[in-house]
Amino acid sequence: MAGMIRAELGKLLGLPTARVGLVLGVLIAPLLVLVNAPATRASLADGTFGDPTDLGFRNLGIGLLGALILGVVSVSSEYTSTGEDSPGVRQLTVTLAAMPDRTRLLIAKATALVAVVTAQGVGTATATLGLTELVHGEAVPAPSPARVAAAVLYWVLTTLLAFALTLIARNGVVTLTVLILNSSVVSLSYLLYKVTPLAAYLPDIVGAHMFIRGMDLAERIPPVTAGLVMSAWVTAFLALAAVIFHRRDA
Amino acid sequence: MIAIDRLRKSKNRTRILRDVSFEARPGRVTGFLGPNGAGKTSTLRVLLGLDRPESGTALVNGRPYASWPRPLTMVGAVLDGSGAHRARSARAHLRWVAASNGLPRGRVGEVLDLVGLAGDARKRAGRFSLGMSRRLGLATAMLGDPPILVLDEPVNGLDPAGIRWIRDFLRTSAAEGRTVLLSSHLMGELAEIADDVVVIDHGQVVAHGTVAEVTGEHRTLEDAFFALTAEAGRTWPA
C-alpha cells in the first residue's frame, strides 16, 4: 500500500496543472490580504465589517480554488487521452494494470490527495492568518487553533468532493467549471436557500459554518454540526463514486 | 501461461465475445489474429481486469490478473500507445509505475536502455513519435521483468525498422522462456513472429493451433485466414 501511495503522490505532483493548483492555492489568499488591506481597514474602523475574527478566514476562501484544481486533476488526468493517434488510450489503463484492486487504488489516490491538500491548507492558513495579524494588528483577535484546523478540514473535504464528482463524471473540464462557477460566481445552494432554509445544509455551503462566524445566511449552524454534515455528504459522494468506478469497464 | 475459458461479453446489446477459449504457453509466441472489431482487444482487456466479462474466466498462471499482489512482476502489457500522460517525461512515468509495484528505481534506467530510449528519458511523452510511444509502452511492460507479455497490435503503424525491432524483441523474449501473446490483424507479420495462432472472428475462435496447423492446406496463413473468417465474403473495390 505504501508503494501505491508513493506512486499516486508522484503522479499528482508530477502534473504541471497540479503544480499550478498547488502554488495558486498557497499564494492567492495571502495576496488578497494585502490587496484588501485598505478597504478592510476602513470597514473595521467604521464598524461595518461584522465579526472581526472572520477576517483572515474570509480571505482564505479564494485559495480553495487551488485545492479544487488538485482534487479534479488527480482523477481527470487518468481520463485524458494520451495521444492524437490513439484516442482511446488513457493513463487509467496503465494505472489499473499496475494497481488492479480498485478499492485499494482509490484509497491510495485519496490518501495522496489528502496529504498534499492538508499541507497546502496548513501552509496557506498560516501565511494568510499571520499576514492578517501583521497588517491589521490589534484590530483582529488571534485565531483559535480549533478554527484553523476546521478551515483546513474544510479544504480537505471540499477537495475530496471534487475528487468524487470528477470520478463520477470522468471529465475534469465539466467538474472544474461547475465547481468554480458555484464557488465564485453564484452558489446554487445559496439560491436554493432563498426557497428553503434546509438548503443551508447542502454540501458546498454547510462546511463554511465550521470556521466562519458571520455567515451571509440567517441560518446558524454550530461548527461541529456543520463538520459532521459536510463529512457525511463527502462520504456519500465518495461511496457512490467508488461503486460506479467498480462496476464500470475501464 | 495464459488460460482463457469460455469468455462471454456484450456491449450495447451486441454480443462481442462468444465463448472465447484458448491458451498461450511459455516459451512460445502466440498470435491472436482477427479482423478489426473481431474481439481481440476486448479479450485482452478482460484478461487484464480492465473490463468485466458476463461469464467465463481469464487466468494468468492459475489466477485472475487482478488477484496478483504485484501484477507487473507477472504480466507486462502494452495496449496501443504508452499510456503515459502527455505532460509527463518518460522517466517520471516509469518511476510512478515502478513505485506502484514496489520495484527498485534502478529498473527505470535499465528498461529505458533496453528499449533504446535512454537519451529521451527527460522528454515529455506528448512529444514522442508513434514508434517512441510503443517503445515506452514496452519499457513499462518490462519494468517488473514479467514471465508473460501481452501486446495489442504492437506493430500497427510502425516503420519497417520499428517492426523489425519489435519482432526481434518478442522472439528473444519467447526464447528466454516468456509467454508472449500478441494480437494483430496483419497476417504476414504474424506468420513471421508467431509459433501458435488463434484466429477470432465475430467474437468467436474459429481456429487454434501452430502456424502450420492453422495454415493447413492453404498456401499461406493469409489464405487460411480469409477462408476461415467472414473477410472472404467482403468485397473490396479492385
Q: Would you give the DSSP letter of residue A185?
A: I
For the cut 80, the answer to whether the pLDDT of residue A219 exceeds it is no
At B235 the pLDDT is 55
Cβ atoms < 10 Å from Cβ of A149: 15
For the cut 60, the answer to whether the pLDDT of residue B236 exceeds it is no
Q: Give kind and range of the element (H or E) at residue B111.
A: helix B106-114
* ipTM of this complex prediction, to 2 decimal places: 0.90
For the cut 70, the answer to whether the pLDDT of residue B206 exceeds it is yes
User: In chain B, what are the domains?
Assistant: 2-74+146-233 (3.40.50.300), 85-145 (no CATH)
For the cut 60, the answer to whether the pLDDT of residue A121 exceeds it is yes
At A202 the pLDDT is 85
At B230 the pLDDT is 62
Residues of B in contact with A93 (CB under 8 A): 50, 79, 83
At A208 the pLDDT is 82
Cβ–Cβ of B84/A96 closer than 8 Å?
A: no
Strand order in the sheet with B55-60: B14-24, B2-11, B55-60, B63-64
Where is average pLDDT lowest: A36-40, B89-93, B210-214? Answer: A36-40
Compare all CA atoms of chain A with the CA of B98 and give the residue at the minimum distance.
A7
Strand, helix or coil at B19? strand
Cβ–Cβ of B126/A83 closer than 8 Å?
A: yes
For the cut 70, the answer to whether the pLDDT of residue A116 exceeds it is yes
At B186 the pLDDT is 83
Sketch the domain layout of chain A as residue ranges.
2-247
Quote the mean pLDDT of chain A. 86
Pick B87 or A185 by higher pLDDT: B87
In this prediction, what percent of chain B has a pLDDT beyond 70?
Answer: 96
pLDDT category at A86 given cuts 50, 70, 90 is: low
Q: pLDDT per residue over B167-201, tens digit each?
A: 999 999 999 999 999 998 888 888 889 999 999 99
List the 116-155 stretch of B: residues with Cβ below 8 A of A: 125-126, 130, 133, 140
For the cut 70, the answer to whether the pLDDT of residue A217 exceeds it is no
Q: pLDDT per residue over A139-158, tens digit each?
A: 777 778 888 898 899 999 99
Interface of A with B (CB under 8 A): 3-4, 6-8, 10-11, 14-17, 77, 80, 82-83, 85-86, 88-91, 93-101, 247, 249-250
Q: Per-residue pLDDT averaged across A238-243, rounded? A: 96
Q: How far is CA B192 from CA B90, B178, B211, in A?
A: 30, 18, 9
DSSP A134-174: HHHGGGSPPPPHHHHHHHHHHHHHHHHHHHHHHHHH--HHH
Would the CA dihedral through B61, B66, B69, B74 be positive or negative? positive
Cα gap B47→B78, rounded to integer Å:
13
Q: pLDDT per residue over B47-73, tens digit each?
A: 999 999 999 999 999 999 999 999 999
The answer to whether the CB of B159 falls within 8 A of the CB of B131 is yes
Q: Which of A207, A204, A210, A214 is nearest to A54 (CA)?
A: A214
Where is average pLDDT lowest: A160-169, A193-202, B6-15? Answer: A193-202
Compare all CA atoms of chain A with the CA of B137 and give the residue at the minimum distance.
A94
Q: Which of A154, A135, A122, A121 is nearest to A52 (CA)?
A: A135
At B237 the pLDDT is 61
Cβ–Cβ of A14/B65 closer than 8 Å?
A: no
Cβ–Cβ of B50/A17 closer than 8 Å?
A: no
Would the CA dihedral through B71, B73, B75, B80 be positive or negative? positive
At A184 the pLDDT is 73
Strand, helix or coil at B6? strand
B114 by Cβ neighbours in 10 Å (0-12 / 13-18 / 19+) ranks as middle
CB pairs under 8 A between A and B: 100
Residues of A in contact with B99 (CB under 8 A): 3-4, 6-7, 10
At A62 the pLDDT is 80
Q: pLDDT per residue over B148-159, tens digit each?
A: 999 998 888 788
Cα gap A33→A55, rounded to integer Å:
9
Q: Using CB atoms, pick whichever of B83, B95, B157 lies closest to residue A94.
A: B83
Q: Is B209 on the interface with A (CB under 8 A)?
A: no
For the cut 90, the answer to whether the pLDDT of residue B92 exceeds it is yes
Cα gap A59→B129, rounded to integer Å:
46
At A189 the pLDDT is 80
Pick A86 or B176 by higher pLDDT: B176
The answer to whether the CB of A153 falls within 8 A of the CB of A147 is no
In this prediction, what percent of chain A has a pLDDT beyond 70?
Answer: 96
Q: Per-residue pLDDT averaged across A12-41, rounded? A: 87
The answer to whether the CB of B9 falls within 8 A of the CB of B16 is yes
At A239 the pLDDT is 96
